[in-house]
């Protein structure tokens, strides 16, 4: 395949494809991934192809017959936390990950287990991740399966046997709260992976390793280090000029973690990567004099052979809202103003849909795909026109989109036949406020998750937002920069999308359905319940002349930890569908009864308010607001059993829940502080009960 690599590098991809042999996972390499895109029989890489279109050419299942779709098989991933993985399929074998980075190889025709590989992530690592112990999938190359484990190790596994071939530590410092949740990508014999952790305080970087040996080939940092020390490269020197040294960003790491999106153009031989938010979120605290803070919230083009910086485009200069640009990147050739343009498309958290020239990073267009209140639009040079007062305020203000993003990691897809991009769009309202007393790693009460190491520089304000939450499947025309059609959901946090030459769009939903739409009109054509909320994206593939559609189900992620839109929650599962499939839906769905509101724990009412601030700092982002709902994939404490809350120190000050990922707070919280937190939990449940009684009374008097 050396010849092929060279042909690819000089743009002779067509010739290269002819020489590709994709007989087994052993035959999957850069040329084979490119060749597969002509047929899309396999699904050999996270986004299907290097352009990450998630558009399949298979049309055996289509708008005319999708009503006959039925279950071929289901597979129990034996996990209880979020499942964000896209199932990869090569020549009849599926490779998919569950929570805690566990890899499953499955016979794609029958759904039978072939092997399982558990990277043994220590459960205490859970607290180092912002957003559930999730993993978005594997990469395949030359008979090997690669998984980036939650604790920062990259594992190479024999695709045939599930045996480990090598393992490397991708972390520059194991004492820092780094994680990996993204799927690796493989380009020309190198496996590439970034990391997460910008909420906590780490320095983002992307690393490439030799697929055979695991030896490091290159590393590119996304933000500069200490300016008093030599810079790694010119790109870091230029970046440092856009930060204010008074913020001493390097002590906190700066952020900019590249935890998800990548794409590759073999003709241009450019690797594209999306970068994350800064640490802390609030620029006022991070870089007091302002500045763009490169390369936060950007898309960056790198040389995939050397990791050398080529160009960047920054979607959100001087990000102050957690507006990561790690969201899905799609490459396409579009006709814009009568000219064929090689573009890169992205719908990052900040709510604008971007079309960028992928040859040089030149801005083409950006329009809001949801309501936004931080910028009026973008000027000709591609700079946002910020709304006055959209940042650095001392009073509480509602930031739209919120840090959950108008679109998060849930992959979108692009169908070149309809010309539409299918975006899982959303709104999760939130009101924030500057934390004037912010200090690195100081758990100021009221600062979200600061007791667990988060560094935002904000408070979540105790003020009701004006916006309402929503989840929408948006079909977006990237040339006209306008909506073509939409489907509304009952909740934010719906799954990624798949589009096909059968004129279909597939998406799983937060309320536990898997749906096929007409790609041109948005008419729903088929749906099935899947027992749990879906967050991952589906894939489709062909085996023995038959087309299948698969989706991994497992409710979770940063929103799904604390909230859900279903009454049932099953274990993580893969569902695979085919025409006339007649397998039985699995019955082992766990029904979590909405419990009784917590009652009867005594407390001092004066402790409720300070307890609330402590709760926000230590409990909120895993257990949600007590009594507002029945919890997500973790329990809402407002529905706890009274005996558990009365003896809460047996959980909070011990390792009792360590196996589930809950930290021991001994030494972090005092007994008095825990007493105040208990007051807030019981006080919230009492307030909810009183509000419900009031509602019942009002309803009774109406009748």
Binding site for Ca ion (CB under 5 A): 277, 322
Closest distance of CB 440 from Ca ion, Å = 17
Closest distance of CB 198 from Ca ion, Å = 5
**Which phi-psi region, left, alpha or beta, contains residue 279 (left: φ > 0; alpha: ψ -120 to 50)?**
beta
Closest distance of CB 326 from Ca ion, Å = 8
Closest distance of CB 349 from Ca ion, Å = 8
Closest distance of CB 195 from Ca ion, Å = 12
Query: Do residues 575 and 521 make contact, with C-beta atoms less than 8 angstroms apart?
Result: no
* Closest of 385, 277, 266, 399 to residue 327, by C-alpha: 277
Catalytic positions: 322
Closest distance of CB 692 from Ca ion, Å = 35
Closest distance of CB 327 from Ca ion, Å = 11
Distance CA 321, CA 279 (A): 11
DSSP string for residues in 522-544: --EEEEEE-SS---SPPEEEEET
Distance CA 203, CA 224 (A): 8
Run of H or E residues at 487 = strand 482-489
Query: Do residues 264 and 200 make contact, with C-beta atoms less than 8 angstroms apart?
Result: no
Query: C-alpha angle with apex 355: 348 to 487, nearest 5 degrees?
Result: 60
Q: Which residue lies nearest Ca ion, judged by its C-beta?
A: 277
Which C-beta is closer to Ca ion: that of 277 or that of 566? 277
Secondary structure of 240-294 in HEC code, one letter for each residue = HCCCCHHHCHHHHCCECCCCCCEEEECCCCEEEEECCCECCCCHHHHCCCCCCCC
* Closest of 153, 151, 156 to residue 141, by C-alpha: 156
Q: Within a 13 Å sphere around the CA of 122, how many CA atoms are in the beta-carbon half? A: 10
Distance CA 529, CA 396 (A): 40
Query: C-alpha angle with apex 49: 501 to 37, nearest 5 degrees?
Result: 55
Which C-beta is closer to Ca ion: that of 454 or that of 526? 454
Closest distance of CB 676 from Ca ion, Å = 29
Tell me how long the chain is: 703
Look at residue 504 and give its three-state secondary structure.
strand
Which C-beta is closer to Ca ion: that of 401 or that of 478? 401
- Residue 136 CB burial class (10 angstroms; 0-12, 13-18, ≥19): buried
Which C-beta is closer to Ca ion: that of 179 or that of 676? 179
Residues 6 or more apart in contact with residue 239 via CB below 8 angstroms? 223, 224, 294, 295
Which C-beta is closer to Ca ion: that of 77 or that of 406? 406
Cα 235 to Cα 216, 295, 307, 310, 316: the distances in Å are 20, 9, 11, 9, 18
* Closest of 538, 535, 537 to residue 564, by C-alpha: 535
Query: Do residues 166 and 214 make contact, with C-beta atoms less than 8 angstroms apart?
Result: yes
* Closest of 404, 462, 391 to residue 615, by C-alpha: 462
Closest distance of CB 66 from Ca ion, Å = 37
Distance CA 21, CA 23 (A): 6
Which C-beta is closer to Ca ion: that of 181 or that of 540? 181
Spatial strand order in the sheet of 513-518:
55-56, 497-500, 504-508, 513-518, 524-529
Which C-beta is closer to Ca ion: that of 277 or that of 576? 277
Spatial strand order in the sheet of 103-107:
88-90, 93-97, 103-107, 113-117
Which C-beta is closer to Ca ion: that of 114 or that of 127? 127
Closest distance of CB 196 from Ca ion, Å = 8
The pair of three-digit structure tokens given for residue 265, joined into one six-digit string: 């153009």
Which C-beta is closer to Ca ion: that of 4 or that of 297? 297
Which C-beta is closer to Ca ion: that of 223 or that of 487? 223
């Amino acid at each position: 395949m050396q010849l092929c690599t060279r042909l690819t590098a000089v743009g002779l991809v067509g010739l290269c494809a002819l020489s590709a042999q994709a007989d087994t996972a052993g035959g999957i390499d850069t040329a084979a991934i490119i060749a597969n895109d002509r047929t899309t029989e396999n699904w050999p890489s996270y986004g299907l192809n290097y352009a990450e279109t998630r558009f399949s050419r298979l049309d055996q299942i289509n708008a005319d017959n999708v009503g006959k779709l039925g279950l071929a098989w289901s597979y129990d991933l034996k996990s209880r936390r979020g499942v964000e993985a896209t199932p990869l399929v090569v020549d009849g074998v599926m490779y998919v990950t569950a929570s805690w980075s566990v890899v499953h190889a499955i016979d794609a025709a029958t759904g039978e287990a072939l092997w399982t590989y558990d990277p043994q992530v220590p459960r205490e690592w859970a607290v180092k991740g912002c957003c559930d112990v999730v993993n978005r999938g594997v990469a395949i190359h030359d008979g090997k399966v690669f998984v980036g484990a939650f604790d920062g190790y990259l594992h190479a596994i024999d695709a045939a046997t599930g045996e480990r071939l090598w393992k490397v530590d991708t972390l520059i410092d194991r004492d820092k709260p780094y994680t990996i949740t993204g799927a690796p990508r493989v380009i020309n014999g190198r496996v590439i992976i970034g990391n997460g952790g910008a909420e906590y305080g780490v320095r983002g970087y992307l690393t490439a390793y030799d697929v055979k040996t695991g030896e490091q080939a290159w590393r590119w940092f996304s933000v500069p280090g200490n300016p008093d020390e030599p810079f790694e490269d010119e790109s870091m020197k230029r970046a440092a000029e856009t930060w204010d040294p008074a913020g001493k960003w390097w002590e906190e790491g700066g952020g900019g973690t590249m935890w998800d999106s990548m794409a590759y153009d073999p003709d241009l031989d450019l690797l594209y990567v999306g970068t994350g938010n800064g640490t802390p979120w609030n620029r006022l605290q991070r870089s007091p004099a302002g500045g763009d803070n490169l390369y936060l919230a950007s898309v960056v083009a790198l040389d995939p052979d050397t990791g050398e910086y080529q160009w960047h485009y920054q979607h959100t200069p001087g990000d102050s809202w957690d507006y990561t640009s790690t969201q899905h990147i799609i490459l396409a050739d579009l006709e814009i103003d009568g000219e064929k343009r090689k573009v890169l498309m992205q719908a990052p958290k900040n709510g604008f849909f971007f079309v960028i020239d992928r040859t040089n990073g030149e801005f083409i267009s950006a329009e809001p795909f949801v309501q936004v209140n931080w910028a009026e639009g973008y000027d000709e040079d591609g700079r946002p026109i910020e709304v006055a007062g959209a940042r650095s305020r001392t009073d509480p203000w509602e930031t739209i989109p919120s840090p959950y993003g108008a679109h998060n990691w849930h992959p979108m897809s692009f169908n070149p036949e309809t010309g539409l991009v299918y975006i899982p769009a959303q709104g999760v309202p939130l009101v924030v406020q500057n934390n004037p007393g912010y200090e690195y790693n100081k758990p100021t009460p009221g600062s979200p998750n600061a007791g667990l190491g988060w560094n935002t520089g904000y408070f979540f304000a105790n003020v009701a937002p004006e916006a309402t939450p929503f989840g929408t499947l948006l079909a977006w025309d990237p040339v006209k920069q306008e909506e073509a059609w939409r489907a509304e959901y009952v909740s934010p946090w719906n799954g990624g999308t798949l589009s096909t030459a059968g004129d279909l769009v597939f998406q799983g939903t937060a309320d536990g359905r898997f749906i096929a739409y007409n790609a041109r009109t948005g008419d729903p054509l088929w749906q099935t319940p899947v027992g749990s909320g879906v967050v991952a994206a589906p894939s489709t593939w062909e085996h023995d002349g038959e087309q299948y559609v698969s989706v991994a189900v497992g409710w979770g992620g940063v929103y799904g930890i604390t909230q859900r839109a279903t009454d049932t929650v099953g274990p993580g599962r893969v569902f695979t569908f085919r025409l006339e499939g007649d397998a039985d839906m699995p019955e082992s769905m766990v029904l979590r009864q909405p419990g009784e509101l917590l009652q009867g724990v005594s407390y001092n009412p004066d402790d409720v308010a300070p307890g609330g601030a402590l709760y926000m700092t230590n409990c909120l982002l895993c257990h949600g607001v007590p009594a507002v709902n029945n919890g997500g994939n973790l329990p809402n404490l407002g529905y706890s059993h009274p005996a558990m809350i009365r003896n809460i120190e047996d959980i909070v000050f011990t390792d009792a829940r360590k196996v589930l990922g809950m930290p021991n707070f001994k030494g972090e919280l005092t007994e008095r502080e825990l007493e105040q937190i208990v007051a807030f939990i019981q006080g919230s449940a009492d307030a909810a009960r009183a509000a419900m009684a009031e509602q019942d009374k009002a309803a009774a008097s109406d009748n």
